[in-house]
Every structure is written in structure tokens, then in C-alpha cells.
Structure 1
Amino acid sequence: MAHLDHIIVLVPYASLTNPPAWITENFTITPGGQHADRKTENRLICFRDGSYVELIAFVNDDPKNREGHRWGGKHFGIIDFAFTHRTGDAAALFSELQERLDGVDWKEDAIKVEYQPPVAGGRKRPDGKEVKWTVTTPVTTTGYQSGQLPFFCHDVTPRSVRVPVSEEAITHPNGAYGIKQLTIFVDESKIGALSQAYAAIAGVPDSSTGDSYGIFNLRRLIEVEGRKNAQFNLRTPTQQWQVDSMKERGGAFLGALTFCGRVASGETESSRRIDDGNGGMGEVYLDLETLDLET
């Protein structure tokens, strides 16, 4: 079974160096570094459950840094997300992924989902430490795109080098301990194939009860008190702004992200929107829930 590794948010370079108030007021930001290609730089929002949000920007917003980059054509906002595994070799896990996808009984009009073999990645932290990993990405020449399908990130250096786990890094002003839910809006014509693919990719069943959407629950990388799963929803857009955002982005809009926080039993649960409505983020929520959740 796969676990959520991280969610990627593309921001202007100025917003990386000086994040907007809605981010700094809600989250603790951890230094990241510049990637090995020197085209992008990042900062992290790390969570108690082992996942994180990666704030990433093209260095100095130089258009040349977008050239040839897998995210070079992306709009600002949530652009991609990664799964991982607690243990295992990336090459062996890739072979297992291929087997699961080969075993899918694809619908007649579906485009088969495929992945490329793992490739090396890395960056240097501000303290000079080298961070190394491999990524396994979906094939995007057959009609799919990054963001419609997750990629995999597997560590070469210890995970704690890439994802700081200090109490300071994982404690946030808004009390969030992880990601509750991400909704990916896609065209109706792709819902069926993507739902089949997600079940094989994540190694979990589709929990939906209809053909017009998919629901996938992934156990957290680190078990924490509270909600046990991070949920991924495939949906067709129902509001015009969602339709427009999906079309602007070529057929996939990662448009609704919810973080989860805890309140003690007996205290008031709540859900509120925390983003400022700018930067192509879609909608970002924080749900505060009681501790005795089992889902």
C-alpha cells in the first residue's frame, strides 16, 4: 500500500521568499533548498503524520528555468502530488506497480496508464547537506498529464534529511497535523480510467459508490491520534470556476485541499477556509475534529 508523501504548490518566486500572510499565520515553514538542476527552489510545510506540502518556485521567475521542466507549463497553485512507501527498493516497487497496472481490465475506450522507471533527483539544503531520492513519474505522452496522476518519491538519503521531523517543524499555529483530503477535478471522459488506475497505483480499493467519481483512502505514513487516512477524490467539476480552472490547466485542476487538526473530545469541531483566494490555489480548508476518529 502506498502512503501520501507530499503535495506540490507552485508559487511566484517572491511568494517563496516572502510567503503570503495566510500561509505564515497558519503554518510553520521549514527551509528547503535549490534543486540539482538549479531551476527551482523550495520550502516545506511538514506535518506530524510524515507528509508535507512543498512550496516550489522557478528561481527568480526566469522563463528560461521553465524550459524543458516537467512543471514548466503549469499555472500557479497546487500542481502535483507524490506517494511513497515505508520500505522497499524503488526499482522493485516500480516492477510491482507495472504488474498491478498490467493487471487492470481497462475499459474499451480507456487509455492505459503507464509509468516511467525511477530516475535520480536531489537538492542541497541551506546547511549544505545533500538530499537524494528517486522519482517514478507517469507517462504523459499518451493523453495524461502530471497532476492527474501521482508520482512516487523514494528516499536514497534518510527521509529525515529530506523531511525534517523536529517538534518545531511539525507544530503549526493552526494546529494542523496532516492532510485530510485532496480533490482532483478531471474531465468526465477520464474519470473511469483514472479511477481504475488510482486503485492499482495506490494499492487500495475505490470507496466510491458511483461511476462519476472516485474515492481513495491512504493510511498515513506515521500513525497519529486523529483521522487515520488521507483521502484523494476524483471529481468532475460542478461549478463554472472549477470548469474554467480545469480547462485552463489542460484537463486537471487540483482545486480543493483540506488539512486536519485536533480538538479534545467535547470541544467544538469546525471547518473553515484559510486561503486568501489568490494565486490559483482553489480552496484550502482546515477541519478541526475530535481525537476519537477511526476513518
Structure 2
Amino acid sequence: MSKPSTKILDHIVHLTPPGTVEKTAQQFRDLGFIVVPGGTHTGGLAENCLVVFQDGVYLELFSFTHPLSHYPPSSPEREKQDGSGVEYLPDMKGGRERPDGKVLEWVILGPGPELKRGTVLFFCGDVTLRHWRVPFDPPSNTWHPSTTSGIAHVRVLVDEKDIVTLLNQLTSIINSQPITATETETAWVLNTLSTLSSTSGYKSLQLIVSTLKQDDKHKVLKERGPGVYEVGL
């Protein structure tokens, strides 16, 4: 049996302050996106809304329902046995209840606490059907007034001193070599569920890791730390 691919982009999490997911959803609507209510996660600790694209990827507008101090610390991590230094937490069950009452279940494999948050991928395995979690039906959910149909690239910003470690980690996780590499930028090709179909017409997207080059990036890195800097549509 073949192993699941680790280079398929399922979704991107847009974290908002506790209790602000509806405010963020309205901001996205004002920008020309259809926003679908997602529901409340198991235990009532988080809630979300979704911006679903025709290429199979979605943005998850995610908000905790309590301040961060309310949540317990991470469980013990385990090391990924490939010499890359990437550590992943044990599989963790998750789920949410949609506004229509349908209960979704999945399993999350997330990076350990030693890794810089937002710089490496986490993995989501559906227990219930994916189309319950990603509502492509009705098709109007993916036809945005802004005409956006999918993700072109995801850019991660990282400090120069950490770049070599992160590049090795991502190459190991994605199980693929970069398609381009310069002194300040490295890129990999990622697939979506739509690009895996030869008849879909959608192009593969890129995961780009950049180091500091401009003053505005210095400011972002200082204020927010390493992580996703931009998402190209």
C-alpha cells in the first residue's frame, strides 16, 4: 500500500484573536470572498469559518473561544526517525460540529514544541468524509466575487540563522527537493487535490521560504517571529 503524500496542501490556518472569527469572516466577505460557517470544534474550545477555493484548498479562519492561558500545555513529542531533527507530537483526535449538526472527525499530526510555530507543516487525516469538512457543495461556495480560484504560493519568512535547518526539515517532510534555490529564497512545488487530476486545469502551487531582504520583512520578523508571511492567490 502506498504511503499518503506529504506534499498536498489541504488548507491554511488564519488564526485570529479569541472570539473574533465572525469579525474576520466579515472582513473577508468585504474583500470579495464567500465565507462558509464552519462550526465549533470538539469541546467548544475553538470555532471557525471557511473560504473554499476551486483548486481544493481552503483558508480556515480560526479562533479560540478562550484566552490562550485556558488551554493545557502540549503533550510529549516524538521524534521523526529520519535524522532531520523534525519532531512531531503523537496523533491527536479532533473534530467539530457544523451548524447543521453534522459531526466531523479527524486526526492531527502536528510538529513538536521545539519547532518554530508556523514554519513547518502539520497533517490532517479525515476520519469522516473530507467533503463534510470542505463544503464544495453547492458549487457557489467556491465562486468568489473577487474571482479568486485558488492558491498560487505560500511564502514563509525565516531568520537567516535558521534557514539551513528549516530547509533540511522541509525537504525531509515534503520528501522532495526544491525546484529553485538562491541565497535568499528556496521553493518547492506542492499539489492540491485538484492538481492531482490531469484534467482539472489547475497548476501546482509553490511553497517559498525567504530570508530577510527588505526592511518591512525585518519589522514583521521582529514583531511576529518566523512563519507565513504571505499567501498568493
What is the TM-score of this pair, normalised by structure 2? 0.84
1:9 partner amino acid: H
- Taking the aligned partners of 2:180 and 2:166, their CA distance within structure 1 comes to 13
Partner in structure 1 of residue 174 of structure 2: 202
Contact 1:198 1:216 in 2 (8 A): no
1:181 to 125, 148, 153: 153
The 3-state SS of whatever aligns with 1:4 is: coil
Deviation track 1:152-196 (CA, whole Å, cap 9, x = no partner) reads 111000001111111021111112221111111111111111111
Partner in structure 2 of residue 56 of structure 1: 62
Q: Is 1:37 aligned with 2:62?
A: no
The 3-state SS of whatever aligns with 2:9 is: strand
- Taking the aligned partners of 1:234 and 1:174, their CA distance within structure 2 comes to 27
How many angstroms does 1:127 deviate by?
0.8
How many angstroms does 1:20 deviate by?
4.1
1:10 partner amino acid: L
Pick closer, same or farther for the CA change 1:179–1:158 going to 2, 3 Å: same
Partner in structure 1 of residue 206 of structure 2: 231
Q: Give the aligned CA root-mean-square deviation in angstroms.
A: 2.5
Partner in structure 2 of residue 161 of structure 1: 132
Unpaired runs of 5+ residues, structure 1, are 72-94, 105-111, 260-295
Partner in structure 1 of residue 116 of structure 2: 145
How many angstroms does 1:240 deviate by?
2.5
- Taking the aligned partners of 2:216 and 2:152, their CA distance within structure 1 comes to 23
Contact 1:191 1:214 in 2 (8 A): no
1:68 partner amino acid: Y
Contact 2:10 2:192 in 1 (8 A): no
Partner in structure 2 of residue 88 of structure 1: none
How many angstroms does 1:244 deviate by?
2.2
Between the aligned residues of both structures, percent identity stands at 31
The 3-state SS of whatever aligns with 2:194 is: coil
Contact 1:42 1:55 in 2 (8 A): yes
- Taking the aligned partners of 1:135 and 1:22, their CA distance within structure 2 comes to 26
How many angstroms does 1:123 deviate by?
0.8
How many angstroms does 1:242 deviate by?
1.9
The 3-state SS of whatever aligns with 1:3 is: coil
Partner in structure 2 of residue 290 of structure 1: none
The 3-state SS of whatever aligns with 2:47 is: strand
2:227 partner amino acid: F
Contact 2:19 2:64 in 1 (8 A): no
The 3-state SS of whatever aligns with 1:178 is: coil
- Taking the aligned partners of 2:204 and 2:56, their CA distance within structure 1 comes to 12
Partner in structure 1 of residue 226 of structure 2: 252
1:172 to 129, 144, 147: 144
2:216 partner amino acid: W
Partner in structure 2 of residue 7 of structure 1: 12
User: Of Structure 1 and Structure 2, which has the larger fraction of its residues in strand?
Assistant: 1
- Taking the aligned partners of 1:22 and 1:163, their CA distance within structure 2 comes to 18
Q: Is 1:68 aligned with 2:71?
A: yes
Deviation track 1:70-121 (CA, whole Å, cap 9, x = no partner) reads 89xxxxxxxxxxxxxxxxxxxxxxx9x945x33x5xxxxxxx2222232111
Unpaired runs of 5+ residues, structure 2, are none
What is the TM-score of this pair, normalised by structure 1? 0.68
Pick closer, same or farther for the CA change 1:145–1:209 going to 2, 3 Å: closer
